[in-house]
């Protein structure tokens, strides 16, 4: 088939070939590859210009006891100079140190709670930790109490009955007066400089929430975990960096995200329905708070190790797209609504086009060719596969420019030949989730939120 495909490719008219690859170029190419390449070229040229003028790197002084300046990875290489404005441009001191409270809310996480606590404790000078045991039955609270007995500023709260993650997070808020509240999953591990990096954007009083970068901790377990590690680097590390620059970032991961307490309380905290992290972020956007990404605030978490687990995870994630962007917060696209802003409208439009309309269009097109011209379908798939690999290679080069750990992240290149079919699998999960949520509101039957909470929650 490869020989036939090459012969077909060499004989097809250029205008027809362009029509075949145009959807990929116009949508995935423009949205992901070309935009990230343009961002990289801009940053690289700016860094070279500033270095040619011998602008010194901003210093990191006054880190406080127990905090190493060397943990700030961006000071190690000129490659990260492009992400640092000069003190004159900022109009403020380089380092920002608000009081921080890290909330670890979990259920039956006794295997990981101690390692998570160890990665958080003493990683930032003005830090308190609250652990919320959401009705665990595996002794998680006992292990957290044992840790708190030998470590200062660690408070352990236990709820006798499970209420869900939103309930657990809200339960912790009255116990802290910290300016910034950071949520970390109890099965995750923070990099040494993660908290310092994620609080820096809060020096801007208009910033209401900051998204950290979540990466795969168990990337080397099998092929699927390595594919997810590669995806996280592109979609979370690079993708959210770009969305933040464009002002259309719509998500702060529940595994690692920071919120200004004032902004969070003004918008009512976490809703008790499904998808609590995305919902809170959209409410903050409606209240005119900025949502930004801190790419070098990095957190490691375990990813699913089987295709079935991955499919179920992505279904749950994609349900939130319909629930929030198409129902609960659709007023952000209404020009007569007080919540209308151009950036909010562009954010919704980007979601509707790329994550809903094009998902359906992809499978409608594949189905049409499968019925009427199966041979042509094979040629089209191979052509787009080759182009997709080229686009992925460009993104990998961009990733190597920005990454603080080239040795770790360089392995993602080995996954490149399998990335297109992997993303096709994720599109199948998206298609199923969108159909389920549009017609049956499937998210409100998911056990991620307890039954007694789902029954009293408004079904958007």
CA dist 64 and 85 (Å) reads 23
Domains and CATH numbers, the chain: 95-315 (3.90.550.10), 338-454 (no CATH)
Q: From residue 264, give the alpha-carbon distance in Å to each of 20, 188, 280, 296, 434.
A: 47, 23, 8, 23, 29
Q: What is the pLDDT of residues 329-365, one digit of tens each?
A: 999 999 999 989 999 999 999 999 999 998 998 899 8
Cα torsion 405, 113, 269, 356: sign: positive
pLDDT of residue 352: 94
Would you say 83 and 56 are in contact if contact means Cβ atoms under 8 Å apart? no
pLDDT of residue 373: 84
Give the largest CA-CA distance in the chain: 74
Would you say 298 and 192 are in contact if contact means Cβ atoms under 8 Å apart? no
Per-position DSSP letters for 211-246, written without gaps between them: EEEEEESSTTSSHHHHHHHHHHIIIIIIHHHHHHHH
pLDDT of residue 377: 87
pLDDT of residue 56: 58
Predicted confidence band of residue 444 (pLDDT cuts 50, 70, 90) = confident
Would you say 24 and 388 are in contact if contact means Cβ atoms under 8 Å apart? yes
Least confident of 16-25, 183-192, 334-343, 391-400: 16-25
Q: In the predicted model, is pLDDT for residue 277 greater than 50?
A: yes
Q: In the predicted model, is pLDDT for residue 5 greater than 80?
A: yes
Q: Report the mean per-residue pLDDT for the chain.
A: 88
Q: What is the pLDDT of residues 153-171, one digit of tens each?
A: 999 999 988 999 999 999 9
This model's pTM is above 0.75: yes
Q: In the predicted model, is pLDDT for residue 201 greater than 70?
A: yes
Residue written as token pair 């939103």: 166
């Amino acid at each position: 088939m490869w020989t036939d495909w090459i012969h077909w490719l060499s004989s097809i008219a250029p205008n027809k070939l362009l029509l075949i690859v145009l959807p990929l170029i116009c949508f995935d190419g423009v949205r992901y590859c070309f935009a990230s390449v343009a961002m990289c070229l801009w940053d690289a040229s700016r860094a070279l210009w500033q270095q040619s003028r011998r602008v010194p790197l901003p210093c990191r002084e006054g880190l406080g006891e127990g905090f190493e300046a060397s943990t700030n990875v961006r000071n190690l290489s000129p490659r990260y100079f492009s992400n640092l404005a000069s003190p004159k441009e900022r109009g403020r001191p380089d380092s920002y140190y608000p009081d921080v409270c890290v909330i670890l809310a979990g259920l039956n996480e006794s295997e990981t709670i101690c390692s998570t606590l160890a990665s958080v404790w003493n990683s930032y000078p003005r830090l308190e930790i609250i652990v919320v045991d959401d009705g665990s039955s595996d002794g998680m609270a006992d292990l957290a109490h044992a840790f708190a007995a030998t470590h200062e500023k660690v408070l352990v709260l236990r709820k006798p009955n499970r209420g869900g993650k939103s309930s657990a997070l809200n339960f912790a808020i009255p116990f802290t007066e910290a300016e910034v509240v950071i949520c970390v999953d109890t099965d995750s591990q923070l990099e040494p400089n993660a908290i310092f990096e994620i609080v820096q954007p809060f020096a801007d009083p208009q910033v209401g929430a900051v998204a950290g970068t979540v990466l795969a901790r168990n990337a080397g377990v099998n092929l699927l975990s390595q594919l997810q590690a590669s995806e996280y680097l592109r979609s979370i590390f690079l993708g959210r960096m770009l969305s933040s620059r464009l002002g259309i970032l719509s998500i702060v991961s529940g595994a690692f995200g920071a919120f200004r307490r004032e902004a969070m309380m003004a918008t009512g905290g976490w809703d008790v329905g499904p998808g609590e992290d995305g919902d809170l972020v959209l409410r903050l956007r409606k209240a005119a708070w900025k949502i930004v990404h801190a790419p070098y605030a990095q957190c490691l978490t375990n990813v699913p190790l089987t295709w079935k687990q991955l499919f179920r995870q992505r279904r749950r994630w994609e349900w939130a797209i319909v629930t929030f962007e198409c129902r609960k917060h659709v007023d952000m696209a209404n020009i007569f609504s007080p919540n209308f802003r151009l950036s909010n409208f562009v954010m919704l439009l980007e979601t509707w086009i790329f994550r809903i309309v094009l998902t359906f269009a992809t499978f409608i097109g594949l189905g049409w060719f499968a019925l009427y011209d199966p041979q042509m379908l094979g040629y089209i798939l191979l052509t787009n596969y080759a182009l997709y690999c080229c686009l992925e290679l460009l993104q990998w080069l961009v990733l190597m420019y920005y990454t603080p750990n080239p040795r770790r992240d360089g392995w993602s290149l080995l996954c490149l030949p399998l990335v297109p079919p992997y993303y096709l699998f994720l599109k199948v999960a998206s298609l199923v989730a969108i159909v389920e949520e549009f017609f049956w509101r499937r998210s409100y039957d998911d056990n991620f939120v307890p039954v007694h909470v789902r029954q009293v929650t408004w079904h958007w």
